[in-house]
């Protein structure tokens, strides 16, 4: 593993700026990796790790930098819970650890650096210095990871009987004997403005 400063430099580059969220995210991921004994997550250990992230904010980018887990490798799982927390799963051993930022860390940052009025700068410095115990709750957990959730899983491609679009990796839904995509099964996040056309208009 690299040092906090090295990871912060990389995170700053990837994210576009350095902020309190980067510090939190980098430290969160380092704690997870350390507990799991994963030394080289982007090199020799790159197939060992799956990360569940519970927030889509600055810290998310930092967690991706340290772990190397990305959406495009199916090694990053997003749970939209609005919580500053992540769970790191060692798929080679099945061990998993959830690291959550303590709510009290914000007020502690104020106590540590009252001389810095600007919140982001205050937290950026305090989160660097804060003891792990003050910053995070760390908990061993079990994560049920079915085979289709593993980065390397390949299933057969199957077609939705309603919209005709192809579905990979067992994401289809079976309803009344019909194969449906999740949109047609009622989970859609979009509403088409007009009927599907093949002309592209
Ligand atoms: Zn940021
Ligand atoms: Zn469909």
Proximal ligand: closest to the CA of 120: 1
Task: Place 155 in a pLDDT band, splitting at 50, 70 and 90.
Answer: confident
Structure confidence at residue 37 (pLDDT): 96
Reply yes or no on whether the pLDDT at 12 is more than 70. yes
Reply yes or no on whether the pLDDT at 80 is more than 70. yes
Task: Place 194 in a pLDDT band, splitting at 50, 70 and 90.
Answer: confident
Chain-wide mean pLDDT for the chain? 94
Residue 196's φ and ψ, nearest 5 degrees, are: -55, 130
pLDDT in tens, 108-135: 999 999 999 999 999 999 999 999 999 9
pTM over 0.85: yes
If you average pLDDT over residues 93-99, what whole number do you get?
Answer: 97
Q: How far is the CA of 101 from the centre of ligand 2 (A)?
A: 39
Proximal ligand: closest to the CA of 18: 1
Q: How far is the CA of 12 from the centre of ligand 1 (A)?
A: 8
């Amino acid at each position: 593993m690299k040092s906090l400063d090295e990871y912060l430099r990389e995170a700053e580059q990837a994210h576009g700026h350095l902020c309190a969220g980067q510090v939190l995210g980098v430290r969160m991921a380092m704690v997870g990796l350390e507990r799991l004994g994963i030394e080289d997550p982007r090199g020799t250990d790159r197939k060992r790790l799956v990360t569940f992230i519970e927030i889509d904010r600055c810290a998310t980018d930092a967690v991706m930098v340290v772990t190397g887990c990305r959406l495009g490798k199916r090694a990053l799982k997003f749970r939209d819970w609005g919580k500053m927390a992540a769970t790191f799963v060692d798929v080679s051993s099945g061990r998993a650890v959830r690291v959550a930022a303590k709510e009290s860390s914000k007020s502690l940052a104020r106590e540590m650096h009252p001389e810095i009025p600007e919140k982001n700068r205050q937290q950026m410095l305090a989160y660097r210095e804060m003891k792990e115990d003050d910053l995070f709750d760390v908990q061993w957990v079990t994560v049920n990871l079915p085979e289709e959730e593993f980065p390397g899983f390949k299933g057969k491609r199957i077609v939705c009987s309603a919209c005709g679009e192809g579905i990979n990796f067992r994401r289809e839904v079976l309803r009344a004997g019909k194969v449906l995509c999740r949109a047609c099964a009622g989970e859609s996040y979009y509403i088409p403005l007009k009927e599907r056309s093949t002309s592209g208009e």
